[in-house]
Structure 1
Amino acid sequence: MLFGIAVFPEKHVQDLANSWRKRHDPHYCLIPAHMTIREAEEWSDARLQLAIGHLEQVTMGLAPFAIRYNRVSSFYPVNHVLYLALEDAAPVQKLHESICSGPLTVVNPTYVFTPHLTIGQQMSADELHDQYGNLRMQAFDIVTKVDRIHLLYQVENGSWTTHQTFLLRG
């Protein structure tokens, strides 16, 4: 089964992100607005149990924190993705490094981890440039707390469902 780890921002952030995702993100109906902490990967039942034990241990030592999205950015030309970027990515970077250690170490990552909240993807270059041009002129000051992570799995129709939630308890 395919598993991944994500953070869901608070409702006001999801609502804002979804106002763009409805039109510009084909995954809108498959998963709520989120920050991917660990990319999806096929896991056996044994690997799942190792992951759960690791996540329980890691989250015990991590304290909740706040993050601020302060601008729109893009991964163009590598990917046609538009996203909300963080003012300070260090706390999410630390979360990622803690989670992606031990049994959840990513051996050959596809991309350098860049914490972000996708608001558009699989867009044409023209559409991406048009939206980016409009949104980069706007001021953003969106704060949300990060106090839990979610272990997700993908169901047959391609949507994602929470398998287990882990509170940050440090």
Structure 2
Amino acid sequence: MTMKYGIVIFPSKKVQDLANSYRKRYDPHYALIPPHVTLKSLEASEGQMKEVTDTLEEIAKNHKGFKMNIKKVSSFQPVNNVIYLKIEPTDELASLHQEINNKIIGEKPEYAFVPHITIGQKLSNDEHSDVYGSLRMLNVEHEESIDRFHLLYQLENGSWSVYETFRLGKEL
């Protein structure tokens, strides 16, 4: 039996609180998973997980901690009605994402990697345009250090739980 897994970065509590203040109203997944940056989604059997965790352990050792900057609220419109906190792309984040996607089983990403934290989704066109219209005026300016990523698995009720945490190998 395969289960759904996700490889994510959780931002600091300060950023989670900010994101959740909007997610409560605009994201139907609010109760299922904390605010996060998705690096990869995959499906795997319990038997494949040893290989997945060993590979992630290796990847974590090869990457050092990095700074994550959140600069503004943005949207994926017209592709879909997702509103998010935009994370400035960095070489460290891009290379971590790329190595995970090259070495871990699972589908290739559907879209190009745009690091973000979703704050609203599954909105109608009118809702999206109202909400985005007001949120994009927010002055979001935040920098924090990232020193780990997490492998999550999805429970039967749709919520997500941490399977294992991987510390990035080289200190900042």
Q: TM-score range by the shorter chain?
A: over 0.9
Q: Distance in 2 between matches of 1:108 and 1:167?
A: 24
Which residue is equivalent to 1:158?
Answer: 158
AA aligned to 2:64 is: A
Shift of 1:93: 1.4
Q: Does 2:54 align with 1:50? A: no
Contact 2:89 2:115 in 1 (8 A): no
Give the unaligned 5+ runs of structure 2.
Answer: none
TM-score (norm 2): 0.92
AA aligned to 1:23 is: R
Shift of 1:129: 1.0
Which residue is equivalent to 2:6?
Answer: 4
AA aligned to 1:20 is: Y
Which residue is equivalent to 1:60?
Answer: 61
Q: Distance in 1 between matches of 2:33 and 2:89?
A: 25
Which residue is equivalent to 2:145?
Answer: 145
Per-residue CA distance 1:64-94 (angstroms, 9 max, x = gap): 1111110111111111100011233433211
Give the unaligned 5+ runs of structure 1.
Answer: none
Shift of 1:37: 0.6
AA aligned to 2:47 is: A
TM-score (norm 1): 0.93
Contact 1:35 1:117 in 2 (8 A): yes
AA aligned to 1:50 is: E
Tell me the SS of whatever aligns to 2:53.
helix
Q: Distance in 2 between matches of 1:143 and 1:58?
A: 24
AA aligned to 2:133 is: G
Which residue is equivalent to 2:39?
Answer: 37
Which residue is equivalent to 2:169?
Answer: 169
Per-residue CA distance 1:24-48 (angstroms, 9 max, x = gap): 0000000000000102x22012321
Contact 1:89 1:115 in 2 (8 A): no
AA aligned to 2:14 is: H
Q: Distance in 2 between matches of 1:53 and 1:107?
A: 19
RMSD over aligned Cα atoms: 1.3
Contact 2:63 2:92 in 1 (8 A): no
Q: Distance in 1 between matches of 2:107 and 2:26?
A: 31
Which residue is equivalent to 2:135?
Answer: 135
Which residue is equivalent to 1:112?
Answer: 112
Tell me the SS of whatever aligns to 2:6.
strand
Which residue is equivalent to 1:79?
Answer: 80
Tell me the SS of whatever aligns to 1:77.
coil
